[in-house]
Homo-oligomer: A and B are copies of this chain.
Amino acid sequence: MARYNFKRIPDHVGVIPDGNRRWAQKHGMEKEEGYSYGIEPGFRLYELCIELGISELTLYGFTQDNTKRPTVQRKAFQKACVDAVEILAGKDADLLVVGNTQSNMFPKELLPYTGERVRFGKGLIKVNFLVNYSWQWDLHQALSAVSSGNKNVTDLIGSSLISRVDLMVRWGGRRRLSGFLPVQSIYSDFYIVEALWPDFKEEHLLEALGWYQEQDITLGG
């Protein structure tokens, strides 16, 4: 912590690691080759978040909308998600994978991490990984659970184990949520990094945090 001095750190950071395909094309590769270059940056981000004392990190793996892309791309991002979790299993995190497990687009290797959190090592940070996620699926879980009475919608959605997101950081220049946890990101502060995700630098997150600590958090009050 001595390396950094922020006056306020978000509890929960959401990440949209976008730009893998554009990065691959920029480097003369096929689009689908970009995804594997997105894994190592994710672990640098993970290490930095632990060092900073961030307690929860949610990463966009892929969405049900994304699975409409060409098969070669779909297989590449599915594999990148499985590979990332295999590496994480050797580290220190409490992992929860959230997404539609009922579809054959969901990688079976990740089923053990759905439903409840699984501890790896010392469990130094909560990591939520959105895999075959869709906001429609998320909200429909609430609709199908509603018979249980007059509960709060946040307790009924598919991603109910994931807390409110304080800071959303999106790499790759696009300024949109793309369906990332619509309920939890209601009051998220939104920071855009122009760089493509495989070009991740620690400075990107540090700049986002420097901006975040100056924001006036009112939650509408």
Contact A135 B215 (CB under 8 A): no
How many chain A residues touch the partner (CB < 8 A)? 37
Question: Residue on B with the closest CB to A69?
Answer: B221
A156 contact from B66, B143, B154, B215, Cβ within 8 A? B143
Encode A189-203 as 1/0 by CB contact (under 8 A) with B: 111000000000000
Please name all residues of chain B whose beta carbon is closer than 8 Å to the beta carbon of A190 when the two chains form the complex. Answer: 175-177, 190
Question: Residue on B with the closest CB to A134?
Answer: B220
Encode A39-66 as 1/0 by CB contact (under 8 A) with B: 0000000000000000000000001011
Contact A186 B175 (CB under 8 A): no
A143 contact from B65, B153, B191, B216, Cβ within 8 A? B153
Please name all residues of chain B whose beta carbon is closer than 8 Å to the beta carbon of A191 when the two chains form the complex. Answer: 175
Question: Residue on B with the closest CB to A212?
Answer: B175
Question: Residue on B with the closest CB to A137?
Answer: B153
Contact B220 A65 (CB under 8 A): yes
A213 interface contact, C-beta 8 A: no
Contact A183 B186 (CB under 8 A): no
Closest CB-CB distance, A220 to chain B, in whole Å?
3
Closest CB-CB distance, A43 to chain B, in whole Å?
25
Given the interface pairs A175-B191, A191-B175, the reply to whether A63 lies near B220 with Cβ below 8 Å is: yes
15 A-B pairs whose Cβ atoms sit less than 8 Å apart in the complex: A63-B220, A65-B221, A66-B221, A68-B220, A135-B183, A136-B152, A139-B142, A142-B143, A175-B191, A177-B187, A177-B188, A177-B190, A179-B186, A179-B187, A179-B220
